[in-house]
Structure 1
Amino acid sequence: MATDAVKKYLEDTNRPYSCADVTVNLRGAFTKSAIQKALDALSEAGKIKCKLYGKQKVYAAIQHDNADGPSENEDYDTPIKTTTIELEELNTQLKTKEASLKSLLAAPTSDSARVQAGEIKTNIEKLESRLATLRDSVEVMSADEKRGILESHAKLLSEYKKRKRICSEMIEAMLEGYPKSKKNFLEELCIETDEMVDFKLVSFQV
């Protein structure tokens, strides 16, 4: 019967065990459910001790044949607390190892890393080759194209200066009858000068 076997085992070993421990140590003689029922029945009958540590129940035999009197019952609290602390430390170490394993599994494999390194190296070589070509180029456009661009720039620059001068003359003329400052006048008309936007003309010689 499971009850007798469990009681005898706890008395013979004289150590605290959980239900899972007893099941394993009895080498499958009874199911875990049967052993749990036996432990609960023995505990309720006062034939064994039961202590709760966190969510786990731990059982130990009550020894009545020790002649030492009041100290006949061994105090299992200390070893159980020590074991509980060790278990928590092992769980912490396990979580650390699992996190490290997860990180390693997420990292690229050696073959994958070599392929990526090869692709990066190929791209670098292409960019370096293109850069060398640009550096060695004496002309990127013909002389006629360059001259045409500079002439167009000069024409637009001249037109810009002409229009700017006309605009400035108009503003100065209107300011003669304006009661406020030039700054207020420009703000009211939402006009921005070159100086306000830090615009600077660049001229090139043809």
Structure 2
Amino acid sequence: MASEAVLKYLVDSNRPYSCADVTVNLRGAYTKTVVQKTLDALSEAGKIKCKLYGKQKVYAAIQVDSVADEGDVEDYDSKLKSLNKDLADKTNTLKEVEIKLKTLTSTPTTETAKSKIEEIKKRTECLVKKLDTLRNSTEVVSVEEKKEILNGHAKILREFRKRKRICNDMIDAVLEGYPKSKKTLLEELCVETDEMVNFKLMTNT
């Protein structure tokens, strides 16, 4: 019977177990429901003791061949607290080790760091040489060339402003008979203004 098997197991093991532990340790001879009912029945009959830890019941046999000291059972409270504290300490230690491991794995190796340092040195040398070349260069733009460049820029600038004005006039003319907003019209025409693309016109002044 289940009661005999469960009682014998608790007496032989001489330690407290939960229902799940007993079910597993009996190697599936009985279902968890049967084991739970059996444990409750044995507890009510006074053949075993039942202690409640939080929401979990723990059962222990009453040994008839020795003095059943209540303190032995009560002592499991302090043992459980000690084990929980030990578990919390080990969990915190594990987290610290995981953080250290993550830091170490994200840190470049010595060879990688040396390679990056050499790469930066080479880039720095190239930039220094380029800077020295620019500083020592005697090539300058003549007054005539500068004037020609500025005149060309001014011409293009005038043309740009002229075409922008024409475009704005056309859009304003369409908006007079357009039932929706200017933003909607521009979206339908796939037109982007300077403000939309954050374009700032550079002048000679």
TM-score by length of 2: 0.51
Match of 2:20 in 1: 20
Match of 2:34 in 1: 34
Contact kept, 8 Å, 1:50 with 1:58, in 2: the verdict is yes
Match of 1:170 in 2: none
Contact kept, 8 Å, 1:49 with 1:59, in 2: the verdict is yes
Match of 2:94 in 1: 97
Give the whole-Å Cα distance in 2 for the aligned partners of 1:119 and 1:91: 42
Give the whole-Å Cα distance in 1 for the aligned partners of 2:23 and 2:102: 36
Structure 1's consecutive aligned runs of 4 or more residues displaced over 4 angstroms after TM superposition are 71-74, 113-117, 143-146
Query: What per-residue deviation string (whole Å, max 9, x for no partner) do you get for residues 78-126 of structure 1?
Result: 1442144224312441353156336635743878x96676456424421
Q: Give the 3 Å change call, closer, same or farther, for CA 97–132 of structure 1 in structure 2.
A: same
Unaligned ranges ≥5, structure 2: 147-205
In the TM superposition, residue 50 of structure 1 has moved relative to its aligned partner by 0.8
Q: Give the 3 Å change call, closer, same or farther, for CA 61–122 of structure 1 in structure 2.
A: same
What is the identity percentage for the equivalent residue pairs of Structure 1 and Structure 2?
43
RMSD: 3.9
Give the whole-Å Cα distance in 1 for the aligned partners of 2:98 and 2:51: 36
In the TM superposition, residue 59 of structure 1 has moved relative to its aligned partner by 0.8
Letter in 2 for 1:131: V
Q: How many residues align?
A: 144
Secondary structure, aligned partner of 1:35:
helix
Match of 2:106 in 1: 108
Match of 1:62 in 2: 62
Secondary structure, aligned partner of 1:30:
coil
Give the whole-Å Cα distance in 2 for the aligned partners of 1:25 and 1:7: 13
Match of 2:73 in 1: 76
Q: Give the 3 Å change call, closer, same or farther, for CA 32–118 of structure 1 in structure 2.
A: farther
Q: Give the 3 Å change call, closer, same or farther, for CA 28–116 of structure 1 in structure 2.
A: farther
Contact kept, 8 Å, 1:63 with 1:73, in 2: the verdict is no
Letter in 2 for 1:36: Q
TM-score by length of 1: 0.51
